[in-house]
């Protein structure tokens, strides 16, 4: 954000070498996030994208204190969050979840629900926010997200999915946070409603100077809202860079497959994309355990023996940004018509 002060710059979120393991049984664990690093500068929007199961939501939960940290460091400005209990985490960080239907209590009015974080804040800090002041802030925030003030007196069942998500955004912003985490915040909505919510989030981000960590499986959605982009697969970062650049000139084979998997309104283009995607696809192969290998090697049409035995580290990419691919310098220039070439140097079939 232009004109940011030193205090603004200190409000960035930094995740460094994050590892999250979930117990799956006696003395057994499943690694959900494996060495992820990212940062969200103050007043900026960073997208975290990947297919289901890639570890995106686990990163968000780790920031919020809802997932165990095995290794790594999470800091918000000058404050290290690792050792803080969930209740002690900064209220400057708030979240909007995916499902607008299950995230609101059907037995409580919207006004009551939006006042809950304010009441908790007063109980925690002993602040001077009176009941009248809380009610006024709630009604102002409802208006800010495009809902009438009288919505405070109604119940969730009286609203559509898009309106409920606006209410969820209002609840997240009522404490006036500096960082908002949106975890698949539009994926449960119709496409036309998605666009409305994305535009609302962009407007709020710019007007309020918010930082956003925007999580989605849809690369096109993230490209619409984010300035920077982090591509995740099986808990590892595959590629990073400016969002527009990563979307239009993807340099990792996985990112390329994400691009050609995105839905299109044009049915002919959609059919052509499906054919290109099928041409890129390998026969089903067993997913190897995470370790000294590229996690995408079993699905990569450009994989060589090295990809199955040596973990690629993030490094500067040929066209800018960073990429975790042994063969990034050798891959053909990106095109939606791209299919694996038998003349690609060093190509082998795993």
pLDDT tens digits, one per residue of 33-68 = 999 999 999 999 999 999 999 999 999 999 999 998
Going by pLDDT thresholds of 50, 70 and 90, the confidence category of residue 8 is very low
- Residue 214, class by beta-carbon neighbours within 10 Å (0-12 exposed, 13-18 middle, 19+ buried)? buried
- Residue 72, class by beta-carbon neighbours within 10 Å (0-12 exposed, 13-18 middle, 19+ buried)? middle
How far is 169 from 308, CA to CA, in rounded Å? Answer: 43
* For residue 274, pLDDT beyond 50: yes
* Max mean pLDDT range (115-129, 158-172, 188-202): 158-172
* For residue 94, pLDDT beyond 50: yes
> Could you tell me which residue, 272 or 146, shows the higher pLDDT?
146
Q: What is the pLDDT of residues 285-304, one digit of tens each?
A: 566 667 789 999 988 989 99
As a whole number, mean pLDDT of residues 91-113 equals: 90
What is the reported pLDDT for 286? 61
Q: In sequence order, which residues have a C-beta less than 8 Å from that of residue 216 and are 6 or more positions away? A: 47, 48, 49, 56, 184, 186, 187, 222
How far is 45 from 40, CA to CA, in rounded Å? Answer: 7
Structural domains in the chain plus CATH codes: 9-92+177-248 (3.40.50.300), 103-176 (no CATH), 252-350 (no CATH)
As a whole number, mean pLDDT of residues 130-157 equals: 94
What is the reported pLDDT for 265? 64
Q: Tell me the whole-structure pTM to 2 decimals.
A: 0.87
Going by pLDDT thresholds of 50, 70 and 90, the confidence category of residue 276 is low
H-run or E-run covering 247:
helix 243-248
Going by pLDDT thresholds of 50, 70 and 90, the confidence category of residue 10 is very low
Beta bridge partners of 263: none
* For residue 284, pLDDT beyond 60: no
Beta 28-40 vs 13-25: how paired, if at all? antiparallel
Q: CB count, 10 Å around CB of 286?
A: 6
As a whole number, mean pLDDT of residues 114-129 equals: 84
User: By mean pLDDT, which of 84-88, 184-188, 338-342 is the weakest?
Assistant: 338-342
As a whole number, mean pLDDT of residues 105-118 equals: 94
Going by pLDDT thresholds of 50, 70 and 90, the confidence category of residue 88 is confident
């Amino acid at each position: 954000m232009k004109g940011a002060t030193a205090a603004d710059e200190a409000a960035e979120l930094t995740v460094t070498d994050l590892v999250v393991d979930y117990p799956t049984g006696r003395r057994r664990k499943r690694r959900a996030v494996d060495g992820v690093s990212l940062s969200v500068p103050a007043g900026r929007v960073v997208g975290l994208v990947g297919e289901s199961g890639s570890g995106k939501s686990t990163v968000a939960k780790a920031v919020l204190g809802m997932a165990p940290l095995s290794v790594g460091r999470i800091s918000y400005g000058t404050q290290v969050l690792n050792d803080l209990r969930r209740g002690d985490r900064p209220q400057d960080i708030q979240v909007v979840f995916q499902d607008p239907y299950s995230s609101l209590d059907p037995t409580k009015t919207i006004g009551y629900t939006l006042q809950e974080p304010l009441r908790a804040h007063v109980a925690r800090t002993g602040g001077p926010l009176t009941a009248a002041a809380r009610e006024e802030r709630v009604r102002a925030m409802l208006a800010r997200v495009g809902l009438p003030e009288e919505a405070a007196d109604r119940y969730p069942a009286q609203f559509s999915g898009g309106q409920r998500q606006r209410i969820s955004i209002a609840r997240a912003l009522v404490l006036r946070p500096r960082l908002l985490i949106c975890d698949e915040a539009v994926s449960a909505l119709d496409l036309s409603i998605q666009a409305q919510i994305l535009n609302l989030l962009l407007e709020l981000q710019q007007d309020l100077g918010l930082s956003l960590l925007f999580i989605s499986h849809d690369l096109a959605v993230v490209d619409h809202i984010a300035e920077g982009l982090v591509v995740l697969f099986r808990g590892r970062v595959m590629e990073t860079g400016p969002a527009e650049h990563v979307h239009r000139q993807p340099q990792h084979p996985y990112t390329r497959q994400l691009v050609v998997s995105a839905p299109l309104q044009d049915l002919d283009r959609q059919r052509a994309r499906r054919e290109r995607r099928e041409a890129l696809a390998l026969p089903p192969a067993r997913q190897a355990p995470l370790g000294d290998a590229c996690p995408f090697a079993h699905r990569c049409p450009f994989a060589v023996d090295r990809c199955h035995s040596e973990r690629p580290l993030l490094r500067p990419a040929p066209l800018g940004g960073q990429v975790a691919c042994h063969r990034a310098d050798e891959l053909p220039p990106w095109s939606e018509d791209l299919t694996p070439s038998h003349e690609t140097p060093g190509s082998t079939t795993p």
